[in-house]
Amino acid sequence: MNNNQTKLKINYKMSYKKLWKLLIDRGMQKKDLQKQCDISAASIAKLGKNANVTTDLLMKICSGLNCNLADICETERINTGE
């Protein structure tokens, strides 16, 4: 990187709060999500921690729940204190 370039700071993170709300609204538990969408317990754990997951996993969930990506996740601004 030369002196004229600055490193881009990422000030957003993914949140899966909408997914958990959707499950509650549908009377489902995480184990139901795992079975219905054929995803691993490790993937459920990552989602629970708002960790990075693959787009394929998100699409698998959308397909299994018959919903759109915007129905299960959103971005949240990270407070950097700047």
Beta-ladder partners of 75: 14
Low-confidence ranges of the chain (pLDDT < 70): 1-5, 80-82
Q: Residue 45 falls within a domain, yes or no?
A: yes
What's the pTM? 0.82
Predicted confidence at residue 2, as pLDDT, reads 57
Expressed as residue numbers, the domain containing 58 is: 12-75
Predicted confidence at residue 68, as pLDDT, reads 98
Q: Residue 38 falls within a domain, yes or no?
A: yes
What domain count does the chain have?
A: 1
Calculate the alpha carbon distances from 10 to 32, 76, 78, 82 in Å: 33, 11, 8, 13
The CATH number of the domain where 65 resides is what? 1.10.260.40
pLDDT tens for 20-31 read 999 999 999 999
Comparing C-alpha atoms, which of 78, 72, 77 is closest to residue 17? Answer: 72
Q: Residue 5 falls within a domain, yes or no?
A: no
Q: Residue 1 falls within a domain, yes or no?
A: no
Q: Residue 32 falls within a domain, yes or no?
A: yes
